[in-house]
Amino acid sequence: MSDGGFLGAPQPEQAPQPAAPETPETETPQESAEVDEVALAERKALKEMEAAAQEAEKDDFLETAQEAAPTSTVASPSAGQTAAPTQETAPPVEKDRIMLEVEKILEDGLGEYVPDMPDEAREKFIKKGGEVTGQISGMVRSMNVQVKRVVELIRDWLLSIPGVNRYFVEQEAKIKTDRIVDLVEAHRQERSSQIPKA
C-alpha cells in the first residue's frame, strides 16, 4: 500500500454482502404466481378507478364550461357566399320648420358639386351634411348659436367635397353662418311678436 497520493489511496475493505433472503420453505412457486396475479389485478383495478375519476372530472368540467358559454351562435357563410355587412338604418328624422330652413341654407349653391361626386364620397357628404344640419338646428332652436362652432361645422362638411377649393370653402362657410345668424334673429323676433303684451 502506498501512503499519500490519490492514485495509491488505500481501498476500503469490502463489507461482506448480505445473503439473499431465504424463501420460506412452505411457499411453492405456484403460490407465488397467484400472489403476483392478485397484486396485478389490484393494480389494474386501481388504475381503472383513477381513469374513471379523471374522466368524471373532465365531464364535469366540460358541462360547466358549456353552461357558462354564450348560447348564441353566428352562422358562417357557406362556401362561395360572402357575409353582407349589416348596416343599422337610423330612424327617419322628422324635419320641423327650423331644420328645413337650415337644410335649405346649407344646400344653397352646392347643387353643381353633388351630382359629379363619386358614389362613396356623395354618401359621406350627404350623411355628414345631415349631422351638421341637426347640430345647427339644435342651436337655432335654443336661440344660442355659437358662430365659431357653426363656421367649423360647415367648413369641415364642405371640405369633404373631393377636390374643393379652400378659398371657396372659407367663403361659403362664412356666408352660410351669416344666414344662420339671420335666421336666429328672425325666429327671435317672431317669438317676441307672439308673446302677448301685458
Same domain, 146 and 59: no
- Output the DSSP codes for 155-197: HHHHTTSTT--HHHHHHHHHHHHHHHHHHHHHHHHHHHHHSPP
Residue 57 within any structural domain of the chain: yes
Residue 179 within any structural domain of the chain: yes
Report the pLDDT value the prediction gives residue 44, as an integer from 0 to 100: 77
Alpha carbon 80 to chain centroid distance?
Answer: 27
Same domain, 116 and 62: no
Q: Which domain holds residue 140?
A: 97-192
Same domain, 102 and 186: yes
Residue 36 within any structural domain of the chain: yes
Report the pLDDT value the prediction gives residue 187, as an integer from 0 to 100: 86
Report the pLDDT value the prediction gives residue 49, as an integer from 0 to 100: 72
Same domain, 109 and 177: yes
Residue 11 within any structural domain of the chain: no
**Final residue belonging to a domain, choices 66, 83, 118:** 66
Residue 71 within any structural domain of the chain: no
Same domain, 126 and 183: yes
Report the pLDDT value the prediction gives residue 112, as an integer from 0 to 100: 83
Same domain, 104 and 163: yes
Report the pLDDT value the prediction gives residue 70, as an integer from 0 to 100: 46
Helix, strand or coil for residue 141? helix
Report the pLDDT value the prediction gives residue 45, as an integer from 0 to 100: 72
Same domain, 43 and 122: no
Same domain, 40 and 114: no
Residue 109 DSSP symbol: T
Split the chain (198 residues) into runs of 10 and give each run's mean pLDDT: 44 54 55 68 74 66 51 45 50 73 91 86 92 93 91 94 90 94 90 75
Asked if 122 contacts 144 with a C-beta cutoff of 8 angstroms, the reply is no
User: What is the tally of structural domains in the chain?
Assistant: 2
Residue 3 within any structural domain of the chain: no
Same domain, 110 and 177: yes
d(CA 38, CA 109): 102
Same domain, 57 and 101: no
Same domain, 128 and 180: yes
Residue 125 within any structural domain of the chain: yes
Residue 1 within any structural domain of the chain: no
Same domain, 178 and 133: yes
**pTM of the predicted model as reported, rounded to 2 decimal places:** 0.51
Asked if 186 contacts 156 with a C-beta cutoff of 8 angstroms, the reply is no
